[in-house]
Amino acid sequence: MGNPQQFEVWKTDVEPILELKRDEWHLLGHEEVAKEDVWRLGVQKLNKETEFTPFYRFVNVLMRLSVTDFMNEQTINAYKGMGGWTKDTDDELEGILGDVLDHD
């Protein structure tokens, strides 16, 4: 997809938002969350877009992140870590379908 945007230049500008989200998620019982986790999740969501993302949109995405978004990412990463989803392909869905069809 080749998103030409460089979000790193905004990292210091959104530092208060990252701290706010981290603290919010800590209050909800997820003490393991770090500011870097919030940053990575926000950038990951926007890297899927092909158009340039203005700063206000980036801030909006960070502010709308929920603990559910974080837990979904953790769950997917845990399944990926188990080893099977993308063994023969870069496409996750194709890898999952291949695993399901191969294990009748």
In a domain? residue 85: yes
Residue range 15-57, pLDDT digits in tens? 999 999 999 999 999 999 999 999 999 999 888 888 888 999 9
Distance (Å, whole) CA 98 – CA 44: 25
27, with CB counted inside 10 A (0-12, 13-18, 19+), is exposed
In a domain? residue 22: yes
Distance (Å, whole) CA 73 – CA 78: 9
Q: What pLDDT, on a 0 to 100 scale, did the predictor assign at position 1?
A: 43
In a domain? residue 83: yes
For residue 96, is pLDDT > 60? Answer: yes
What predicted TM-score, i.e. pTM, was given to this entire model?
0.70
Name the domain count of the chain: 1
For residue 83, is pLDDT > 70? Answer: no
